[in-house]
């Protein structure tokens, strides 16, 4: 059983991410958003469940599809929307856009548009934590496409060799852009590959946010206790196109029928049904007000000054 406060906290996070991204999708065609957007609609439960199991001082690394991770971990919403708008008040001062969200104040250490590149960064951070003899852990999230990068295997090997405090979490939505996993890999056996490096591994098949939270709590406890790295493969499904706010069934690489079981298992209405109506309505009012204020903040914020081009440039 889950207590009322936990259920409300999880629902607020799920609903907040869903509504933020729906508003991003609404605003995107106006050209006010200055960067490509990779939406997490349909995949929210993985980030929400995983982040719920972390301590505030634990560290998270994401991918270019990291709106959900950024928000679930406590990233500042007005700074995120301002970043999408390319404004100076954005979390990367308007220079990074949607694919480079970062919030060091809550230990979200950044994302990258280049597939797989944050995996070795996360391993390096975990190595630093071990050298400092802390009990903090690192969460490294990535998609199934990143597992085809060579650095993924180098990182697993090093993390295993040094017994680092890191959780490798693969959000497996089945596609690398438009190509299904079984057209890219002869065997879809990511857990077996992790185990070949002597890293314990398991799958969570249905995107159940409560199950993700429960398993992550156990995994985090083991990693924090010094048991070394762990690999989680969480199956999920993105509802929107690879990049952008629309749908892409017409492209023919997947079908709406394939998505239907995932939509029927949508964790947002599922958790909504576990709350009292008054509590749910209060969450909705508070989240909608927050989103309205965040978009207003982005609209009113200035663009970076031309001199900003010369800041944070390494020669």
Return the CATH number at 69.
3.40.50.970
Is the predicted pLDDT of residue 1 greater than 70, yes or no?
A: no
Query: What's the pLDDT score for residue 102?
Result: 97
Paired tokens of 59: 């560290």
Token code pair at residue 177 = 């852009």
How confident is the model over 269-281, as a mean pLDDT? 97
Q: Is residue 70 part of a domain?
A: yes
Residue found by looking up tokens 């098949």 in the block: 205
Average pLDDT over residues 215-228: 98
Q: For 92-104, what is each residue's pLDDT tens digit?
A: 999 999 999 999 9
Whether 47 is covered by a domain: the verdict is yes
Of 255, 211, 256, 251, which Cα lies nearest the Cα of 235?
Answer: 211
For residue 116, pLDDT over 70 is answered with yes
Residue 27: inside a domain = yes
- Band (pLDDT 50/70/90 cuts) for residue 311 is confident
**pLDDT for the residue 312:** 83
Q: What average pLDDT is seen over the chain?
A: 96
Percentage of the chain with pLDDT > 90? 94
Continuous segment of H or E residues that includes residue 201? strand 201-204
Let me know if residue 310 belongs to a domain: no
pLDDT tens digits for range 159-178: 999 999 999 999 999 999 99
* Number of structural domains the chain divides into: 1
pLDDT for the residue numbered 45: 98
Residue 181 lies in domain: 4-303
Distance between CA atoms of residues 180 and 176, nearest Å: 7
| Band of residue 271 on the pLDDT scale cut at 50, 70, 90 | very high
Q: Determine, yes or no, domain membership for 220.
A: yes
Residue 2: is its pLDDT beyond 80? Answer: no
- Strand 179-180, strand 201-204: pairing: unpaired
Within-domain flag for 314: no
Give mean pLDDT, residues 64-91: 97
pLDDT (average), residues 32-53: 96
pTM here?
Answer: 0.96
Q: Residue 308: inside a domain, yes or no?
A: no
CA 10/CA 83 separation, integer angstroms: 25
For residue 11, tell me if it sits in a domain.
yes
pLDDT category, 287, cuts 50, 70, 90?
very high
């Amino acid at each position: 059983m889950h207590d009322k406060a936990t259920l409300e906290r999880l629902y607020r996070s799920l609903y907040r991410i869903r509504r933020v991204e729906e508003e991003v999708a609404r605003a995107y065609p106006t050209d006010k958003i200055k960067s490509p957007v990779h939406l997490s609609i349909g995949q929210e439960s993985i980030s929400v469940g995983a982040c719920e199991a972390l301590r505030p001082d634990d560290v998270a690394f994401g991918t270019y599809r990291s709106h959900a991770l950024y928000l679930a971990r406590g990233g500042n919403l007005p700074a995120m929307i301002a970043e999408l708008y390319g404004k100076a008040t954005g979390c990367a001062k308007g220079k990074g856009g949607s694919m480079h969200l970062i919030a060091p104040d809550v230990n979200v250490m950044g994302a990258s548009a280049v597939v797989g590149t944050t995996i070795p960064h996360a391993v390096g951070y975990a190595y630093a934590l071990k050298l400092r003899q802390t009990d903090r852990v690192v969460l490294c999230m990535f998609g199934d496409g990143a597992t085809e990068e060579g650095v993924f295997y180098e990182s697993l090997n090093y993390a295993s060799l040094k017994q680092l405090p890191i959780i490798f979490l693969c959000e497996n939505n089945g596609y690398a852009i438009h190509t299904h996993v079984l057209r890219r890999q002869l065997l879809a056996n990511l857990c077996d590959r992790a185990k070949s490096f002597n890293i314990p591994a398991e799958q969570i098949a249905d995107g159940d946010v409560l199950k993700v939270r429960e398993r992550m709590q156990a995994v985090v406890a083991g990693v924090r206790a010094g048991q070394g790295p762990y690999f989680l493969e969480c199956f999920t499904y993105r509802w929107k196109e690879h990049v952008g706010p629309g749908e892409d069934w017409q492209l023919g690489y997947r079908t709406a029928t394939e998505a239907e079981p995932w939509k029927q298992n949508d964790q947002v209405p599922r958790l909504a049904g576990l709350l009292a109506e008054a509590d749910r309505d209060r969450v909705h009012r508070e989240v909608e007000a927050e989103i309205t204020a965040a978009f207003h903040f982005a609209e009113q914020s200035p663009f970076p000054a031309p001199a900003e081009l010369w800041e944070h440039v390494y020669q």
